[in-house]
């Protein structure tokens, strides 16, 4: 056991956890807990290279009063010396079911944690695991809200939708289990308040803000890749595990297990949201949502087949007296997929088949004496069937090639009817009345093909490059577009990495993005973003992780969009008087991000980030701030992990988003558009959790308090008439919002 092999390259002063990761990369699976192995432990002396891996690892662990418990060949756990297991007492023969093996509790639960750590392969990836999701304060432990704590993401604390590095929210690609999920949000007709996926089934998230490869090329600003729990990693001695989680946002149940070659994961969740929305300064009624997820995997040798199903739906009936509007909406989304994977030494082949079915209905009316009076009815349904393949192969000289493609058929039916008569606020913008009655039925093909390569240019240099071809054949767009990516990386030492990304990113508009509700019956032509990004990361011996990024993006032919320039927090934005179309000829974004994370001990972690950004559109030959532009942003997070207690806090500050003052005549709009600013945004969010071990699993009591200082962050203005005068009042965002919950994990 533990035969001699070429030892990883170790140096004195190296972090112990980095040394253990080196052995894992060399094929020795060593599992450890962050409660035992932390960022303060360094290697004081090196093991002899002519000994086995087991002996080498034990030598390193003994320097910190730790030991290694070997379960089978090249598979072991790190334990404290007092908790070490007698290997001879562990029967790991094929005839002995692991579930019947008696083991000390040290093997019952193993955590490997690192907040915002970089991905193991790509140093430009922000990586968050489930333990971090649990500790970050958010409404209902929401996954995408937690991701908004990363640097470079513009957020106002209301929507779970993400805007990365100055880009619009429709420029982010969301992946779940390797499958694209379209608009994965609950209440998407009401600011997309929550993620449409149970957070308890998410193992981790990889967030790409630059340099994402050509096989992830359908969006321009970034990629959020959510990974589901792997049922094969269930704690030793168990056949299944799961969670029952109830809080003031939702009630959720999930489970996972493995039987022979088949593993499975299932989840169901329903909303319990009345209390949360009751904290707003407007009564938004009782919106409802639910979501269901199922994933099964069958594995045999080099082959695996995975089936997945995600279904979510919303039902909202609202009355907003302060905005003089009422309405109702329904939305249902179902996605199914089958993935086949063949993984052999030096190559992998994937074939994916998926289908999406979505339906939406909405109706409502507005009766604002100063703005508009009107009503709207809208319905849409779309179907997307997609076939894709991807091949990765190692060739000679350690060159890794990747190629693949996809073809999808989209079809949709859309109907929109709205009428409105505008009063003073609309007349000042040159709007007097509108009437729309349109029904469309469209279908067509979209697809892509790509090829890329990763080459080691030397012991310290690397190159990743690729080219992608996208095509669209949906009236009126018949376009073929080429885009390219290139990344040069340089590792000065094992702990210091530099990279340079450059490329063009193309984005086609899908049928479901048709803006018929605003009277636009045609798709926009593809938009392009030419991007360059340079970055540096360094892991200090103290355990601190430093990262610096600078980037620039020029967007050619950005899609037109519709904005409510006075108050965007409305239920029926298309009917309000301040709704305008922004047609930019180009956009530019420049930014700098600085972040540092430090594990001060095995119990206490802190991270800080600062971002500078300029996000502008060119409209009528003038540079205008984008509505979500925030020039300065700072975020500070801390976490205490005290065995049975888990305490976290997160503070967010950024400049107020741009605003538009009241326009007295239409000719003034271009000079007044987003040239003012709301007051700065600040929110201090808190989290506390208490774990109670029981014979049948752990019970976790937790509470989150959003905007704990009850700061009145301004997000817009309402205009009202008082005694013949028009006055404006601030539209505040979330006040203090407490969310409490209980979670049983077995």
Q: Which phi and psi angles does 601 have, rounded to 5°? A: -160, 180
Rounded distance, CA 398 to CA 195, Å?
40
Rounded distance, CA 313 to CA 291, Å?
6
Q: Is 270 exposed, middle or buried (0-12, 13-18, 19+ CB in 10 A)?
A: middle
- Among 123-127, 308-312, 553-557, 678-682, name the one with the lowest average pLDDT: 123-127
In sequence order, which residues have a C-beta less than 8 Å from that of residue 76 and are 6 or more positions away?
28, 29, 30, 31, 54, 57, 68, 69, 70
Last residue of a domain, one of 47, 82, 107: 107
Rounded distance, CA 641 to CA 360, Å?
44
- Which pLDDT does position 6 carry in this prediction? 62
- Whether 9 is covered by a domain: the verdict is no
- Among 15-19, 54-58, 377-381, 488-492, name the one with the lowest average pLDDT: 15-19
The model's pTM: 0.83
Which H or E run contains 665?
Answer: none
- Which pLDDT does position 39 carry in this prediction? 62
| Contact criterion met (CB below 8 Å) for 410 and 427 | no
Q: What angle do CA 628, 630, 632 make, to 5 degrees?
A: 170
Place of tokens 């984005």: 507
Which H or E run contains 278?
Answer: none
pLDDT of 25 above 80:
no
Higher pLDDT, 269 or 542: 269
The reply to whether 417 and 483 lie within a common domain is yes
Place of tokens 């063949």: 342
Rounded distance, CA 319 to CA 732, Å?
18
Strands 172-176 and 222-228, sheet pairing: parallel
The reply to whether 83 and 210 lie within a common domain is no
| CA neighbor of 535 nearest in space, from 120, 149, 166, 210 | 210
| Contact criterion met (CB below 8 Å) for 321 and 362 | no
For residues 116-145, give the mean pLDDT: 71
Q: Using 50, 70 and 90 to split pLDDT, how confident is the model at 1?
A: very low
For residues 213-227, give the mean pLDDT: 89
Q: Using 50, 70 and 90 to split pLDDT, how confident is the model at 192?
A: confident
The reply to whether 25 and 174 lie within a common domain is no
| Contact criterion met (CB below 8 Å) for 334 and 358 | yes
How far lies 308's CA from each of 223, 228, 255, 353, in Å? 20, 11, 15, 11
β-pair partners for 222: 172
- Whether 2 is covered by a domain: the verdict is no
Higher pLDDT, 287 or 103: 287
> How confident is the model over 486-526, as pLDDT tens digits?
999 998 887 899 999 999 999 999 999 999 999 999 999 99
Count of domains for the chain: 2
Q: What angle do CA 550, 553, 555 make, to 5 degrees?
A: 170
> How confident is the model over 640-677, as pLDDT tens digits?
888 789 899 999 999 999 999 999 899 899 999 999 99
- Which pLDDT does position 544 carry in this prediction? 87
The reply to whether 463 and 576 lie within a common domain is yes
pLDDT of 315 above 80:
yes
Q: SS3 for 430?
A: coil
- Which pLDDT does position 123 carry in this prediction? 59
| Contact criterion met (CB below 8 Å) for 429 and 423 | no
Higher pLDDT, 473 or 32: 473
> How confident is the model over 291-309, as pLDDT tens digits?
999 999 999 988 999 999 9
The reply to whether 707 and 617 lie within a common domain is yes
Rounded distance, CA 416 to CA 66, Å?
67
- Which pLDDT does position 601 carry in this prediction? 79
pLDDT of 33 above 80:
no
Rounded distance, CA 612 to CA 294, Å?
41
In sequence order, which residues have a C-beta less than 8 Å from that of residue 327 and are 6 or more positions away?
316, 317, 318, 362, 363, 364, 365, 376, 571, 572
- Whether 1 is covered by a domain: the verdict is no
The reply to whether 335 and 357 lie within a common domain is yes
Dihedral sign from CA coordinates of 505, 519, 570, 138: negative
User: Residue 676 is encoded by which pair of tokens?
Assistant: 């003012």
pLDDT of 326 above 80:
yes
- Which pLDDT does position 609 carry in this prediction? 95
Rounded distance, CA 553 to CA 165, Å?
9
Dihedral sign from CA coordinates of 166, 613, 114, 689: negative
Rounded distance, CA 466 to CA 458, Å?
19
| CA neighbor of 264 nearest in space, from 301, 245, 243, 239 | 239
Rounded distance, CA 532 to CA 213, Å?
14
The distance from CA 84 to its chain's CA centroid, rounded to whole angstroms, is 39
- Which pLDDT does position 11 carry in this prediction? 78
Rounded distance, CA 637 to CA 607, Å?
5
The reply to whether 174 and 97 lie within a common domain is no
- Among 91-105, 662-676, 686-700, name the one with the lowest average pLDDT: 91-105
Rounded distance, CA 509 to CA 442, Å?
13
Last residue of a domain, one of 74, 107, 140: 107
- Whether 8 is covered by a domain: the verdict is no
pLDDT of 34 above 90:
no
In sequence order, which residues have a C-beta less than 8 Å from that of residue 135 and are 6 or more positions away?
115, 639, 641, 646, 648, 687, 689
Q: Using 50, 70 and 90 to split pLDDT, how confident is the model at 245?
A: very high
Q: What percent of the chain has pLDDT over 90?
A: 56
| Contact criterion met (CB below 8 Å) for 350 and 324 | no
pLDDT of 596 above 50:
yes
- Whether 140 is covered by a domain: the verdict is yes
The reply to whether 151 and 99 lie within a common domain is no
- Which pLDDT does position 624 carry in this prediction? 95
The reply to whether 425 and 484 lie within a common domain is yes
Helix axes 53-62, 16-25, angle to 10 degrees: 170
The reply to whether 546 and 675 lie within a common domain is yes
| Contact criterion met (CB below 8 Å) for 450 and 531 | no
- Which pLDDT does position 51 carry in this prediction? 84
Rounded distance, CA 626 to CA 227, Å?
32
Which H or E run contains 593?
Answer: strand 586-599
- Whether 7 is covered by a domain: the verdict is no
| Contact criterion met (CB below 8 Å) for 625 and 616 | yes
The reply to whether 140 and 95 lie within a common domain is no
pLDDT of 417 above 90:
yes
Rounded distance, CA 87 to CA 96, Å?
15
| CA neighbor of 565 nearest in space, from 426, 674, 726 | 674
Last residue of a domain, one of 72, 107, 142: 107
| Contact criterion met (CB below 8 Å) for 316 and 339 | no
For residues 166-195, give the mean pLDDT: 90
* H helix count then E strand count, the chain: 7, 42
What is residue 526's DSSP assignment? Answer: P
Q: Using 50, 70 and 90 to split pLDDT, how confident is the model at 110?
A: very low
- Which pLDDT does position 2 carry in this prediction? 42
The reply to whether 66 and 122 lie within a common domain is no
- Whether 247 is covered by a domain: the verdict is yes
Which structural domain, as residue segments, surrounds residue 611?
A: 117-745
- Whether 672 is covered by a domain: the verdict is yes
The distance from CA 680 to its chain's CA centroid, rounded to whole angstroms, is 25
For residues 687-697, give the mean pLDDT: 91
Question: 438: domain CATH number?
Answer: 2.40.170.20
């Amino acid at each position: 056991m533990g035969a001699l092999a070429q030892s990883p390259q170790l140096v004195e002063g190296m972090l112990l956890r980095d040394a253990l990761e080196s052995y894992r990369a060399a094929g020795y699976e060593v599992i450890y807990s962050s409660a035992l192995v932390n960022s303060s432990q360094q290697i004081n002396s090196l093991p002899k290279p002519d000994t086995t891996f087991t002996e080498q690892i034990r030598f390193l662990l003994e320097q910190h009063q730790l030991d290694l418990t070997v379960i089978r060949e090249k598979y072991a756990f790190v334990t404290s010396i007092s908790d070490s297991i007698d290997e001879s007492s562990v029967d790991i023969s094929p005839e002995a079911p692991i579930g019947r093996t008696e083991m000390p509790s040290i093997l019952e639960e193993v955590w490997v944690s690192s907040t915002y750590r970089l991905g193991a392969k790509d140093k430009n990836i922000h990586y968050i695991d489930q333990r971090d999701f649990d500790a970050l304060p958010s409404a209902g432990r929401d996954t995408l809200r937690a991701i908004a704590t990363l640097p470079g993401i513009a957020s106002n604390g209301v929507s779970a939708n993400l805007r990365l590095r100055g880009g619009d929210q429709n420029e982010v690609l969301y992946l779940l289990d390797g499958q694209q999920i379209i608009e994965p949000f609950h209440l998407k007709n009401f600011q997309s308040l929550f993620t449409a996926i149970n957070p308890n089934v998410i193992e981790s998230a990889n967030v790409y803000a630059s340099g994402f490869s050509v096989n992830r090329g359908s969006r321009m600003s970034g990629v959020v890749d959510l990974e589901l729990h792997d049922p094969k990693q269930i704690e030793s001695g168990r056949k299944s595990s799961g969670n029952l989680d109830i809080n003031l946002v939702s009630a959720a149940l999930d489970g996972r297990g493995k039987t022979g070659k088949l593993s499975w994961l299932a989840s169901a969740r329903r909303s319990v949201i009345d209390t949360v929305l009751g904290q707003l300064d407007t009564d938004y009624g009782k919106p409802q949502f639910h979501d269901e997820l199922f994933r099964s995997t069958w594995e045999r040798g080099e082959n695996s087949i995975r089936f997945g199903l995600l279904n979510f739906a919303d039902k909202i009936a609202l009355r907003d007296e302060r905005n003089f509007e009422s309405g109702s909406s329904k939305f249902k989304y179902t996605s199914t997929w089958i993935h086949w994977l063949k993984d052999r030494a030096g190559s992998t082949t994937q074939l994916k088949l998926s289908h999406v079915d979505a339906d939406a209905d909405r109706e409502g009316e507005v009766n604002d004496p100063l703005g508009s009076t009107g009503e709207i009815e809208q319905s849409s349904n779309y179907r997307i069937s997609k076939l894709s393949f991807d091949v990765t192969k190692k060739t000679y000289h350690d060159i890794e090639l990747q190629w693949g493609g996809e073809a999808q058929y989209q079809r949709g039916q859309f109907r929109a009817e709205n009428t409105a008569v505008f009063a003073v606020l609309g007349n000042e913008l040159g709007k007097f009345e509108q009437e729309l009655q349109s029904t469309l039925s469209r279908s067509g093909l979209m697809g892509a093909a790509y090829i890329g390569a990763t080459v080691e240019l030397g012991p310290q240099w690397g190159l990743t490059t690729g080219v992608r071809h996208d095509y669209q054949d949906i009236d009126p767009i018949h376009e073929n577009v080429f885009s390219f990516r290139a990344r040069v990386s340089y590792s000065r030492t094992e702990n210091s990495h530099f990279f340079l990304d450059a490329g063009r990113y193309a984005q086609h508009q899908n049928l479901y993005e048709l803006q018929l509700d605003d009277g636009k019956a045609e798709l926009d032509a593809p938009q392009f973003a030419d991007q360059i990004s340079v970055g540096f990361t360094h892991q200090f011996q103290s355990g601190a992780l430093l990262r610096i990024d600078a980037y620039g993006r020029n967007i050619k032919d950005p899609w037109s969009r519709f904005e409510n320039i006075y108050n965007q927090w409305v239920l029926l934005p298309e009917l309000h008087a301040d709704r305008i179309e922004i047609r930019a000829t180009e956009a530019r974004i420049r930014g700098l991000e600085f972040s540092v994370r430090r594990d001060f001990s095995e119990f206490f972690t802190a991270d800080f980030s600062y971002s500078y950004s300029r996000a502008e559109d060119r409209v009528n030959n003038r540079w205008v701030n984008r509505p979500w532009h925030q020039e300065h942003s700072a975020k500070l997070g801390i976490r205490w992990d005290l065995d049975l207690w888990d305490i976290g806090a997160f503070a967010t500050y950024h400049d107020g988003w741009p605003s538009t003052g009241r326009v007295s005549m239409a000719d003034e709009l271009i000079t007044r558009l987003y040239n003012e600013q709301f007051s700065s945004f600040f929110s201090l969010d808190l989290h506390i959790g208490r774990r109670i071990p029981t014979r049948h699993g752990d019970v976790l009591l937790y509470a989150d308090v959003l905007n704990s200082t009850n700061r009145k962050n301004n997000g817009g203005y309402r205009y009202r008439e008082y005694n013949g005068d028009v006055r404006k009042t601030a539209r505040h965002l979330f006040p203090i919002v407490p969310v409490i919950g209980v979670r049983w994990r077995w």
